[in-house]
Amino acid sequence: MKVIKFLVIITLVSTVLSCNSKGVTKKSLKNDIDTVSYALGMDIAKKLKVNFSEVDKDLFMQGVISGIDSTDILINPEKIEVIIRSFFQKKQAEVRKKKQEEALKKVEAEFGDAKKAGEKFLEENKSKKGVNVTESGLQYIILKEGKGDKPSATSSVKVHYKGMLVDGTVFDSSLDKGMPATFAVNRVIKGWTEGLQLMSVGSKYKFFIPQELAYGAFPRNGGKIPPFAPLVFEVELLEIVK
């Protein structure tokens, strides 16, 4: 984390800064040490403006002086890195959350009607003959019931599948690729993880997966799946690999 590394370096640089206990600075640069000392201060200030504009200048300078003189220390030096790291991890999490919220609002504004259409489809579909609905909202039809074992979340399975949008558009198919797919049950979308554990080896199910159990507002860039799309999969469980 660049910001954390930079602020930790400040602690090391502080040992060579030429400040006295009253915080008085020289007003002229008479030699190389003066020049480098001043340049280091300017460089740190420049980086602080970019990375941590909220800095309390008085406490920052007090910390620098305390680090140089080893006096009036307010924080256990052994805890400095932990304090800095924790603070900036929290800041970065807040920035990520804000960006995600802004991105979600933008997508909802553009694809809100599609989201409502998907919800309407699932609401109507769940009352159709043969459709089962789980507590999470996953819908499925048993096309063929197998007699083998059922996989767990930690199993790896081999399947044939066809993935479609609700209008029937096929966006992926192992059958078209000419070979089954093998993957861990807990490494796929939530709807697959739940649905596969309902199946016995030899079964073929048709899943209707709500967008929140699929790719939600942010499907793969450049793919055929639009934001908020419920997905339909025909899945045949061929084998539990392990």
Q: How would you write the chain as a 3-class SS string?
A: CHHHHHHHHHHHHHHHCCCCCCCCCCCCCCCHHHHHHHHHHHHHHHHHHHHCCCCCHHHHHHHHHHHHHCCCCCCCHHHHHHHHHHHHHHHHHHHHHHHHHHHHHHHHHHHHHHHHHHHHHHHHHCCCCCCEECCCCCEEEEEECCCCCCCCCCCEEEEEEEEEECCCCEEEEHHHHCCCEEEEHHHCCHHHHHHHCCCCCCCEEEEEECHHHCCCCCCCCCCCCCCCCCEEEEEEEEEECC
Residues 6+ apart with CB under 8 A from 170: 162, 163, 164, 176
CA distance 25 to 19: 6
- 188 φ, ψ to 5°? -125, -175
- At 56, list the tokens: 């309390």
Mean pLDDT of 135-153: 97
- 56 versus 105: which is more confidently predicted? 105
Q: pLDDT tier at 8 (50, 70, 90 boundaries)?
A: very low
Mean pLDDT of 19-38: 71
CA distance 151 to 154: 8
Which of 29-38, 61-70, 218-227 comes out lowest in average pLDDT? 61-70
The predicted pLDDT at position 15 comes to: 41
The pLDDT mean for the chain works out to 88
The predicted pLDDT at position 84 comes to: 85
Residue pair 209/138 in contact by the 8 Å Cβ criterion = yes
What class has domain 111-240?
A: alpha beta
- At 106, list the tokens: 């933008």
Q: pLDDT tier at 209 (50, 70, 90 boundaries)?
A: very high
- 126 versus 38: which is more confidently predicted? 126
Minimal CA–CA distance to 89: which of 77, 79, 100, 97? 97
Strand partners, 140: 132, 207
What is the tens place of the pLDDT at every residue in 153-199? 999 999 999 999 999 999 999 999 999 999 999 999 999 999 999 99
Residue ranges of domains in the chain: 2-91, 111-240
Which residues are identified as catalytic?
Answer: 161, 171-172, 189, 215, 233
CA distance 230 to 215: 9
CA distance 139 to 232: 9
